[in-house]
């Protein structure tokens, strides 16, 4: 997947848990916390992204991820296709 495709999947999953958000607010320089996502919302976003992309990601790959752009980077760099 391309960066744009992964970014779109992340955006879609954020909107799925926070449908009240204006899509223009979801930018790679923001954090999900800034957008009002709880820790459970953030988990739902990550799991939703992995499912949508048919990927697996070790939890350690998310250590230090602080923003939406960091999540996109982690998904691109550390995820592997499910068998």
pTM, 2 dp:
0.88
Q: Write down the pLDDT at residue 30.
A: 97
Q: pLDDT (tens digit, 9 = 90+) per residue, 19-73? A: 999 999 999 999 999 999 999 999 999 999 999 988 888 888 888 888 999 999 9
The CATH number of 3-81 is which of 1.10.1060.10, 1.10.1200.10, 3.40.109.10, 3.10.20.30? Answer: 1.10.1200.10
Map out the domains of the chain as residue ranges: 3-81
Return the C-alpha torsion angle 25, 31, 37, 38, nearest 10.
-170
Could you list the beta-strand ranges (E) of the chain. 55-56, 80-81
Residue 74 pLDDT more than 70? yes
């Amino acid at each position: 997947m391309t960066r744009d495709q992964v970014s779109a999947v992340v955006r879609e999953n954020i909107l799925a848990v926070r449908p009240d958000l204006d899509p223009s607010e979801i930018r790679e320089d923001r954090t999900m916390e800034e957008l009002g996502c709880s820790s459970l919302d953030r988990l739902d976003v990550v799991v939703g992204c992995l499912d949508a992309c048919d990927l697996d990601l070790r939890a350690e790959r998310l250590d230090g991820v602080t923003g939406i752009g960091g999540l996109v980077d982690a998904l691109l760099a550390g995820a592997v296709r499910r068998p």
